[in-house]
Structure 1
């Protein structure tokens, strides 16, 4: 019985003493001579943004074919690095002819503010200046992108459909008031009809999609302007 009490007493004593021993060990181990433990510094990080993952080189895209042709699968980098859209010699000819054609229309339109009597004529001339000026820039850029000169050696631009003769241009510049309005409408209507014919022809023979859209826009917008000019003078 005595032995049993002794064992119980030993167990109770151990249960009381052991936590104190553990606490002292922890306290002694953490005591570094400072009043409080220092925070652990986070690993240094770069201020730069994480480097983006490289673009996979095995991606493919579907490239649509020409009208009547099937689409083809091509590596993505080939499509991304592709040059200007395919064009043919008739596309180039159209652009080279349309630039001086537009230039004459602008020259005619620039006479209207000081000479036209009808405000509707002045408004039509202003629309022509606002549209055909940027269009000339687009066409010059189209040639420049492809390394093509805008000039055509040995070609007489005066033979193009709708182009007005130097004498007609002098008469327009000399006219004033209602005379200017009538002459402007007649000359610009002929000029627009020539541009519409050039644009319509390109739609059947050209291969560049950008020029195709441009030619369609020229034919549509200038047809509308012809109708407006005819309304100004009562048909």
Structure 2
């Protein structure tokens, strides 16, 4: 996974301060692509894999299909999922004892902050709700609607224990928690990479599987050395 320069919290906040309301269910949306017609702006109905798009009447609703909803559900859930990883990684500079753990935390921050912006931009293009990194992940868990559900999130108790720890104890809790967190993200990403319909979403998911899989291997090595 390519690494980008970390964004400041102020820049991240501005980029994610979007007006769309938070929704807890599967969201239907209209495509913003428009074509000129005599009766007003037309609506573009995306075709299936290998099929051309079609032009519908201006008042027609676009059917994105169940697979497209899986793409949306994954990206909506992954923003607050990444947000929790950032919260954990931001604790490391002042609490971790291991230089390797601090370096890993910096890597996670550098990778996942830009990914949040990329995912937010994709959701905006789809015209659906964009969570912030600080939103309650449960509000965007689509499992009860027949789509993938959230995996790997730490509980409030686990987060509080991590916040209260320092030194070697922090290192252990951080590695255990981040392994759990990454494995959940990999499970979610692997599922959408196999059945997703949007090329950008499947590419993002594939990169997460590879990048976070490598980080899990490294964290398991570090944990064994504690």
Shared fold per TM-score greater than 0.5: yes
Say if 2:186 and 2:208, in contact at 8 Å, map to a contact too. yes
How many residues get paired?
Answer: 158
Say if 1:157 and 1:163, in contact at 8 Å, map to a contact too. no
Gaps of 5+ in 1: 1-64, 73-84
Q: For the residues of structure 1 that align with 2:69 and 2:116, how far apart are their CA atoms?
A: 19
**1:232 partner SS:** helix
Q: Which has the higher relative contact order, 1 or 2, with Cα contacts under 8 A spaced 6 or more apart?
A: 2
Q: Tell me, yes or no, if structure 1 residue 224 matches structure 2 residue 220.
A: no
Q: In the TM superposition, what whole-angstrom CA distance separates every residue of 1:57-100 from its partner, at most 9, and x where no partner exists?
A: xxxxxxxx966x4x87xxxxxxxxxxxx9971111000110001
Quick one: which of 82, 91, 101 aligns to 2:71? 91
Q: Tell me, yes or no, if structure 1 residue 140 matches structure 2 residue 130.
A: no
Match of 1:210 in 2: 200
Say if 1:116 and 1:180, in contact at 8 Å, map to a contact too. yes
Quick one: which of 152, 158, 165 aligns to 1:175? 165
Match of 1:233 in 2: 223
Q: For the residues of structure 2 that align with 1:221 and 1:194, how far apart are their CA atoms?
A: 13
Quick one: which of 108, 121, 139 aligns to 1:128? 108
Say if 2:73 and 2:140, in contact at 8 Å, map to a contact too. no
Deviation at 1:154, TM superposition (A): 10
Gaps of 5+ in 2: 1-46, 53-63, 142-148
Say if 2:182 and 2:213, in contact at 8 Å, map to a contact too. yes
Q: Tell me, yes or no, if structure 1 residue 186 matches structure 2 residue 213.
A: no
Residues 90 and 234 (structure 1), Cα distance of their counterparts in 2 relative to 1, 3 Å cut: same
Q: For the residues of structure 1 that align with 2:72 and 2:136, how far apart are their CA atoms?
A: 14
Q: TM-score, normalised by structure 1?
A: 0.61
Deviation at 1:166, TM superposition (A): 1.1
Q: For the residues of structure 1 that align with 2:224 and 2:184, how far apart are their CA atoms?
A: 22
Q: For the residues of structure 2 that align with 1:119 and 1:153, how far apart are their CA atoms?
A: 31
